[in-house]
Amino acid sequence: MFKFDWKRLSVAAGLSLTLVAAGCGSSDEGSEGTSGDSNEGGESTSEEVNYGEEMNYEITGIEAGAGVVKAAQSAVKEYENLAGWEVSTSSSGAMATALGQAVENEEPIIVTGWTPHWKFAKYDLKYLEDPKEVFGGEEQIKTMVRKGLKEEKPNAYKILDQFNWTAADMEEVMLEINDGAEPAEAAKNWIENNQEAVSSWTEGTEKVDGTEVELVFVNWDSEIASTNVVAEVMKQQGFNVTITPLDNGPMWESVSEGEVTGMVAAWLPATHGDLYEQHKDNLEDLGANLEGARVGLVVPKYMEVDSIEDLKPAE
Ligand code: PBE
């Protein structure tokens, strides 16, 4: 028995050594490539590394309607050193995949990023300094509901008004979803472990019997987490809740046109500032549900660049 186990162990150890060796090989290749490129231009000081060339002068964006993508497009116009750069658009999921692959190969990448987000727990990342403040400063995530909700569905209104949590709370839910949990499951687990917070949101309300509520959101990881938690709390209070993913513009429109109950996904003052200006007279602003949010350009810490101004224009 022992002999057999030893054999198995050594086979396993041999295998993992091979894997480690393979891993080292590929990451060595990656960094050799990087320093090789930078050496071509002379010394390999941080300023000499031309990351732009290695990235095809492309910032990896997310959905076209996201505020952070619009801000990145403005940054490309406002920073002279970003002449010739482009912001690619796809989805938050595609951005996360590209980021994961770049980190695995120790390759340079710049993504449109935001906090709270699980990527900061999973990878060593940093925001690039933004001396022109194109991405704004600290943000709040706010709750917006349709006009008339207070009179028509006072219990729904009150829960949405009282909903607020911390960035750490939101990250907990995001991480569980990123680890493979269904969003509704992760939401239920968080609620079970945070009964005190949840009862402060439902305080002063009565249970209902199937009152309909429709919440809209965008499929951003942060909003998947918050919307599922609020939906689950409302379900437990007897509401019949639907959650509908939309693009950013239509999310704001559907609330201001009174077609849906509301959303907990308004990033202000900067990220959704234009949409807020456009719709603020036709919806009700219930204030912040989370403080200390942020958006900007995010890179892995192994990149020797600290500021947007350190990047080089396309040649
Ligand atoms: N985000 C997440 C959104 C707001 C929430 C930063 C991707 C945006 O940029 O509009």
Higher confidence at residue 22 or residue 149? 149
What number is the average pLDDT over the span 14-26? Answer: 38
Whose Cα sits closest to atom 2 in ligand 1?
Answer: 220
pLDDT band, residue 48 (cuts 50/70/90):
low
Q: By the 8 A CB rule, do 134 and 297 touch?
A: no
| pLDDT, tens digit, 9 for 90 and up, residues 277-287 | 999 999 999 99
Structure tokens belonging to residue 207: 């249970």
| pLDDT, tens digit, 9 for 90 and up, residues 62-84 | 999 999 999 999 999 999 999 99
**Cα 65 to Cα 211: distance, rounded to the nearest angstrom:** 31
Check pLDDT > 90 for residue 12: no
Helix/strand/coil for 288: strand
279: nearest Cα among 245, 252, 250, 248? 252
- Indicate which atom in ligand 1 lies nearest the CA of residue 117: 2
**Cα 239 to Cα 242: distance, rounded to the nearest angstrom:** 9
- Angle value at C-alpha 64, between 131 and 101, nearest 5 degrees: 80
Task: Return the pLDDT at 315.
Answer: 79
Q: Is 67 in the pocket of ligand 1 (CB under 6 A)?
A: yes
190: nearest Cα among 157, 163, 158? 163
Task: Return the pLDDT at 237.
Answer: 98
Helix/strand/coil for 301: coil
Burial of 133 (0-12, 13-18, 19+ CB in 10 A): exposed
Q: Is 220 in the pocket of ligand 1 (CB under 6 A)?
A: yes
Check pLDDT > 70 for residue 37: no
Share the mean pLDDT of the chain.
89
| pLDDT, tens digit, 9 for 90 and up, residues 176-219 | 999 999 999 999 999 999 999 999 999 999 999 999 999 999 99
Distance 263 CA to ligand 1 centre (A): 14
Give me the percent of the chain exceeding a pLDDT of 90: 84
Helix/strand/coil for 33: helix
Chain CA centroid to CA 162, Å: 23
Q: By the 8 A CB rule, do 145 and 284 touch?
A: yes
**Cα 10 to Cα 3: distance, rounded to the nearest angstrom:** 11
Distance 223 CA to ligand 1 centre (A): 9
Q: How many Cα atoms occupy the beta-carbon half-sphere of 33 within 13 Å?
A: 13
Q: Is 267 in the pocket of ligand 1 (CB under 6 A)?
A: yes
Q: What is the pTM of this model?
A: 0.85
Distance 271 CA to ligand 1 centre (A): 7
**Cα 5 to Cα 259: distance, rounded to the nearest angstrom:** 65
**Dihedral over alpha carbons 296, 300, 303, 305 (to 10 degrees):** 20
Distance 67 CA to ligand 1 centre (A): 6
Range name among 24-28, 50-54, 98-102 with the lowest pLDDT average: 24-28
Q: Is 268 in the pocket of ligand 1 (CB under 6 A)?
A: no
What number is the average pLDDT over the span 31-44? Answer: 39
